[in-house]
Structure 1
């Protein structure tokens, strides 16, 4: 079976079984082509909640599948590759956050969506990379403990100086591989290219960018810009996706090392086996856990 034949079977069977396939933007293009929706993690969870299908396959990592389940508790949610996790989400657990809350009384906990459901149960407000600045600005509280990504947190802190934002040591191992030297090298090779980066990158890298924003924000910026060349400072799959979408423009990876190995674990074959044979893992969360975790997500939606 070649790629096209496998894709055709996935498309045929998902319609027969009334399955919706969600693909995070960092997935490979052969998975994009069989997906019903492609995007950032929370946006996909919202799409899943609106979709008529009762079975969801989340092609991404574990916290993303859990978020889909949180917003659609009545639906069956599969993670086709159970070992696909998020190192950043694993950097902080319930006990560590409980200790941080005790150490910082009076602080409101703002949790990046890239956290486990268990951590969300102990958080006050959830944010995405695209909504973090707006939500923190809209919060009435001044003292904020931002977890777990100190790079995204410092980016928010710079734009919302009126808030007292305390950061913890944590971040995305993929994005922190990118250095200022990478920027200098890429700019020297492509002096006319605009630099677009994700705010999970190191602070000193983000400060050099022509645009900093979420993955979909980067893709939208590149699509709408009149510029013809771009250096992409996020997971390298985005370079390939942009080249396919805009062949008249040129896209360059900021660093060859900006690769998320967990995202790369999910293959088209995993999606095929999940659709055809129900393989993968069905995400289960207790009713109590979902109710507690939803409070931080509801607060996010309420604040913008």
Structure 2
């Protein structure tokens, strides 16, 4: 079996495509033949050793959290899923031809494997930070760096809950944000004043880590109204850094409902072969994404 691995912390160049023994599904787990694996910012943060508190790593380590595929092994104690089922979910070392998942759900009708692989961690993160920032129906939520996977999910989920959304992104992604129901504006010089002209902001999320946490505090009026998932210095400004995942199983169940009702759709910006995992992570780290990046074994 082929999988992506790294033996030292560092840049994308430490990733290697190796031959490895197949994993097996232990109690409460399933194994899938991976048809696509999601590429998340958490993946390269783990590769760099940035988040060892939340994601301990024993080297050499596999890579990847999210996958969509076909079940080919069911562990002891698992019910409601069978060999041959199409599922998407979260596990470990998903940049591989086979991977073990610890949380999963049936793939919604109409989704490709590439699309489905982009949802698990993204939707869990989006639901968690919307909850943590405490925004309510009728209020306005500002999302900084809104065109990527998490931002795309946040905009749609917030709108489905009756929250107005403002999103910042590059000039090329303004129409994309508008299509997701957001009032878009560009980042860069003068962005704070551009946001002010759009009206009051009750809460804000930093999903890009572009050093704007102080400005988000200024716009909302209080550090408690801001949550970041990308700026490790956020606590220095009194802002919550959200890095500990909640229930992926619950998040997937909510995602299935939203997708089925046509309230959530995250496009795939680009698919890469497994051998190009380093390029996929490099592109993810560069930002400016529209939707998701995935690997296809």
User: TM-score with structure 1 length normalisation?
Assistant: 0.34
Which structure is higher in helix share?
1
Which structure is higher in strand share?
2
